[in-house]
Structure 1
Amino acid sequence: MPLIRLLPDLLISQIAAGEVVERPASALKELLENSLDAGASDIRVDLEEGGIKTIRVADDGAGIARDDLPMALARHATSKIESLADLERVASLGFRGEALASIASVARVAIVSIARGERHAWRIEAQDGAVSAVEPAALNRGTVVEARDLFFNTPARRKFLKTPATEYAHCLDAFTRLALARPQVAMTLSHNGRVMARYPAQDWQARVLAVLGDDFARQARLIDEAAGDVRLYGWAGLPAYAKASRDAQFLFVNGRFVRDKVLSHAAREAYRDILHGSRHPAYCLFLKIDPVRVDVNVHPAKTEVRFRDAQAVHRFVFHALERALAGNQSGSEANAGETIPLPPSPMNGGGATPSPFMGRVGVGSFTPPPHQHNLGLAVAEPAAYYQMVAEALQAAPARPAVVEPGAEAPPLGYALAQLAGIYILAENDKGLVVVDMHAAHERILYERLKAALGAKQVAMQPLLVPVVFAATAREIAAAEAHQAELLELGLELSAVSPTHLALRALPAMLKDADGETLAREILKEVAEFGAAHAIEARRNELLATLACHGAVRAKRKLSLPEMNALLRDMEQTLRADQCNHGRPTWFQLTAHELDKMFMRGK
């Protein structure tokens, strides 16, 4: 008896179904993609028992001709590509030609369709690999696909399904993602005879807000940036709307929902400075890119992609998101995405004009002794630091003695008092503003430290004794390929053998770090995300620590001019709405909200 034999066609399809059809939601996704690729403008989905018993998708798309119905259920048969050139720039959601055949191998499938221009509809059924003859049917337009009793013939697979409620939740997720991807298509979802979601055809902004809700709309920033043939648009949730899980993260590439580590990493890094590490941002982002520059033929379920130039895409998404999130709600929206210039100081070539709240750890009027120009040494002597800050703040502007009629108060208003030695109470045109003075000052110092460091060449700290460590072939390749970039950033790495690397210098600001650990972490990211980003992330962690130590402490009494100086600096600082740890720096209570608290007008 031969040991190697051909598998039966049904078993081949069932194996393929294991990759494509994991649960009812997987089958629903494939059927919805087929409807969208057929040019449907209205799609109706009906589920029973979470899709385990019935999945029915009806659309008004182009339909399937009578002679093509048997081919629709055949493996590796598709109308969406014909050649390798088509595959390399595929724009349709489906293209593998496996979905219907895979579903038909594990469920009872019936298709009724009428092609545009035809007078009659036709019906075909499939079960256990057997396909029925094509028969006449009644249908006005489009296609109706019905899949019943999922995994009825593979009980081992069926027992892994969860409860109908759980499976419905997964189906709802799949429906929601495709509703976001195609806002111009009206979509309706029913479960056990009850309409659960209905979205009319609308523009993408209205669809996002309809799906994600008003709470998201109030706590999100609109983003729309382009560079060449790449465009990123959508909504990025503010830190206040962060979640405990990643459920509210939606990424689309050319209208396809994806789980891509390059894009996810870029988004996570853009939120690094404004979000607590245990929270996850909410966003709905759409990336448009030339199909030639992205490979969608990576995963059977088509949820992964590969970019031809992943580092360039990463940089574009990271900077676009960072600029969108940098806008300060307390200040003018025109500041969003702009770089706040450094005030004149000895460190940036300007004069000695005092700048309030630019302390010893900052880049203000204080000039450290020559041997202390290393920013890493600038957090010592707290008593001297507070004395210097106090002197600088004496010249800070207070509230004008006479306010011109009709003149608007600054966005954060004017200080009224200090509460519990922690909070600044201020009045603006809207009502009452409450500011956490330490958190706010921490953000101001951090942004100025980053700007000061970015304007200077990165100092390198040579090691007296090089750190030699065993490295993988991947790490050695990354070190050699990016050697020039790493040197510019203060990191000198070279191969001393086919299996070992030597670390000969570190960035001066990271001289106390564990050299081997730092090198390994950076090399791990360099190949995918770029050397500059890998080094910058670790420098910023240190700068955040310096800013935290240098910020004005709680319980320190501030005068009204000092409080006003802090408010004005917040208005001119990017990302001033959150401290470096993701905590909010201020809240607004409007006059209307105060009236409601005191039941005025009732």
Structure 2
Amino acid sequence: MKNKIIKLSENVINQIAAGEVIERPASVMKELIENSIDASSANIKIYIMGSGRDCIKVIDDGIGINEKQLVLALERHATSKLDSSDLTKINFLGFRGEALPSIASISDFSISSIKKGLKNGWELNSYFGKVGNIKPSRLKQGTSIEVKNLFKLTPARLKFLKTDRTETGMLIDMFKKLSIVNSETTFQLFIDGVERLNFLSYSSNSIEKRICDVVGKEFYDNSIAIESSRGDASIRGLIGIPTYSKGSGRSQYIYVNGRAVSDRLITGAIRGAYSDYLPRNRFPILSIFIDVAPESLDVNVHPNKAEVRFENEQNIRALIVGSIKKALFSSGLKTSNVNSDKIFKSIKNKFPSNSNYHYDREFSTKNSDIFSSEQSNFREIDINNGQFSPSGKTHKVGSDNQDYPLGSAVAQVHKNYIVSQTLDGLILIDQHAAHERIVYEEIKRAIFGKPIKSQAILIPEIVELDELSISILSEHIEEFKKLGLLFDINDSKSIIVNGTPDLLGEVNILKLVKDLSENLMNENNSQSLKGLLDEVCSAMACHGSVRAGRELDIKEMNALLRKMEITPNSGQCNHGRPTYVKLELIDIESIFGRR
């Protein structure tokens, strides 16, 4: 080890910076595509070979770079996108001037470009940080950048890359993420010589059409549009209904001022907005676009520019939670059509198409003995013995009863499912799940509509905490009082708890108070106890709802349907499962070959 301090070489500095900016091939593609977008490109083509390890090539038709600036482009912290004296108003995706020199330091790098309006283009090569001489290029438009042998001279970085399949999947995910928000640009992705994705540009209703192209029509059909503003911030986009969700957050496309981000504040707000609808292991699918004034947003948090900081975090959180909750509340009975499609396809696949059948009269005559009543056991089955009867009684349905959104009940099967007839099909309702949501909403209205009753503690309990926890809890004494938690500050290291929410029954006071103080420190809000009460409401609703296995008569079934129609969020139970599925009459007729 040397004893004296030395200044690192430019190439070593770039390689160190590359460790933060360039994590994997998808990071390279992201930086190059963002440069193309900043250059006002209308068409961007990406070519991938060997999952990005062998080659990543990006070609655009943007404004291009002239000869002098092309040399400067590979120097560290050189950029055309930022006023040298102002970091508060960043209107481009790139601004740090680190990406190109970082990429060039860890790859066999080549860039060709022609400035718009000029006749001659130029090319510059760099072999793992060793920049060559600039030379003329045959390029006629825009910019072309090719990155080969990524991490070849840094085998430790190469070793920690995932399998080819995983790295390719990450490249595709990044391509989709950048394509959605730039719907006015055509994107093409070629992998190992084969075109994998091609998203055409749109001039009108572009964002929704691009979302449909990228995320899929199934999501589009099971989504709700949101659009709202609060202060200087606004939000718009499409959010998935709760019954259309996934087991991970990979399908959440979040943008701030046109920049794809992965931000804890935003994802936490989304989870909070869906907390009443989804269990913790399910994630909503969505694509949302948040816009704020550039001066109230800090994007210079991390070199990869995926994290942001808001000047007014509370306003952003309130905007996200409020907009999503309002949209979900307004969606009413809407539930995912995926389950209906699954039922239709399942039944359809079990019945061959009518075109496969050919009635042969001669065959029927010759083999009539095979189908004779003496040979058949069908007549021996008494279909009126109750074995095949519905659980509940059936009844005739008048057309006036079918005008309701959920139609009119005709039967109960397996003592848990209500069959309802509508004007254009039939609906199958899970009676327990449906009533669970109804009871849950009623309990919530009773609890949150007025202060919650507190259960006095016979012998007040002293809870010892650190000074920071005491300080935070002291700021919310009145809020907790409304929620039924009564306490006083004893000294700088303890509080005296005099009462707990009556709904909680017996509770571990020490654990409750410590959890609340920790959550308040982490989340900086007073919603933790309400969240706990939501879980209590859910448990009460589950025990207080109509149980599976209970027989209902027609009046009870119809009463349940009418309640569902006026209950918020009745399309799913408290755990995010659908309460009903619908089969359209046209699909039923298709199953039986009538269409």
Which TM-score band (shorter chain)? 0.7 to 0.9
Contact 1:412/1:567 (8 A) holds in 2: yes
How far apart in 1 are the matches of 2:479 and 2:151?
53
Q: Report the equivalent of 2:46.
A: 45
SS in 1 for 2:447: helix
Aligned pair in 2 of structure 1 residues 31, 328: CA closer, same or farther (>3 Å)?
Answer: closer
Amino acid at match of 1:98: E
1:507-526 counterparts in 2 under 5 A? 507-510=501-504, 512-526=506-520
Q: What do the CA deviations read for 1:8-54 (whole angstroms, capped 9, x no partner)?
A: 22111111101011111111111111111111111111111111111
1:37-116 counterparts in 2 under 5 A? 37-83=38-84, 86-116=86-116
SS in 2 for 1:224: strand
CA displacement at 1:408 relative to structure 2: 6.2
SS in 2 for 1:563: helix
Contact 1:399/1:414 (8 A) holds in 2: no
Of 531, 542, 556, the residue aligned with 2:550 is: 556
- TM-score normalized by structure 2? 0.84
Q: Report the equivalent of 1:299.
A: 302
1:124-523 counterparts in 2 under 5 A? 124-202=124-202, 203-328=206-331, 330=333, 403=399, 409-472=403-466, 474-492=468-486, 496=490, 498-500=492-494, 502-510=496-504, 512-523=506-517
SS in 1 for 2:201: coil
How far apart in 1 are the matches of 2:232 and 2:246?
32
Bigger Rg, structure 1 or 2: 2
Aligned pair in 2 of structure 1 residues 500, 508: CA closer, same or farther (>3 Å)?
Answer: same
Contact 1:123/1:137 (8 A) holds in 2: yes
1:25-44 counterparts in 2 under 5 A? 25-44=26-45
Contact 1:331/1:572 (8 A) holds in 2: no
Contact 1:249/1:284 (8 A) holds in 2: yes
How far apart in 1 are the matches of 2:75 and 2:456?
65
Amino acid at match of 2:163: T
CA displacement at 1:277 relative to structure 2: 3.2
Is 1:572 aligned to 2:570, yes or no?
A: no
- For structure 1, the 5+ residue unaligned runs are 333-397
CA displacement at 1:441 relative to structure 2: 1.1
- For structure 2, the 5+ residue unaligned runs are 336-393
Contact 1:328/1:573 (8 A) holds in 2: no
Length, aligned pairs only: 533
- 451-460 or 470-479: bigger deviation: 470-479
Aligned pair in 2 of structure 1 residues 62, 477: CA closer, same or farther (>3 Å)?
Answer: farther
Aligned-CA RMSD value = 2.5
CA displacement at 1:230 relative to structure 2: 1.9
In the TM superposition, structure 1's runs of 4+ consecutive aligned residues that sit over 6 Å from their partners are: 398-402
Aligned pair in 2 of structure 1 residues 64, 486: CA closer, same or farther (>3 Å)?
Answer: farther
CA displacement at 1:498 relative to structure 2: 4.9
CA displacement at 1:204 relative to structure 2: 0.4
Contact 2:333/2:569 (8 A) holds in 1: no
Q: What do the CA deviations read for 1:391-443 (whole angstroms, capped 9, x no partner)?
A: xxxxxxx9999656xx9611001111222221111111121111111211111
1:528-539 counterparts in 2 under 5 A? 529-539=523-533
How far apart in 1 are the matches of 2:309 and 2:455?
37
Aligned pair in 2 of structure 1 residues 507, 308: CA closer, same or farther (>3 Å)?
Answer: farther
Amino acid at match of 2:214: V
How far apart in 1 are the matches of 2:120 and 2:488?
72
Of 571, 595, 599, the residue aligned with 2:589 is: 595
CA displacement at 1:500 relative to structure 2: 4.6
How far apart in 1 are the matches of 2:397 and 2:411?
17
CA displacement at 1:322 relative to structure 2: 1.5
Aligned pair in 2 of structure 1 residues 247, 464: CA closer, same or farther (>3 Å)?
Answer: same
- TM-score normalized by structure 1? 0.83
Contact 2:396/2:410 (8 A) holds in 1: no
Contact 1:492/1:506 (8 A) holds in 2: yes
Aligned pair in 2 of structure 1 residues 316, 515: CA closer, same or farther (>3 Å)?
Answer: farther
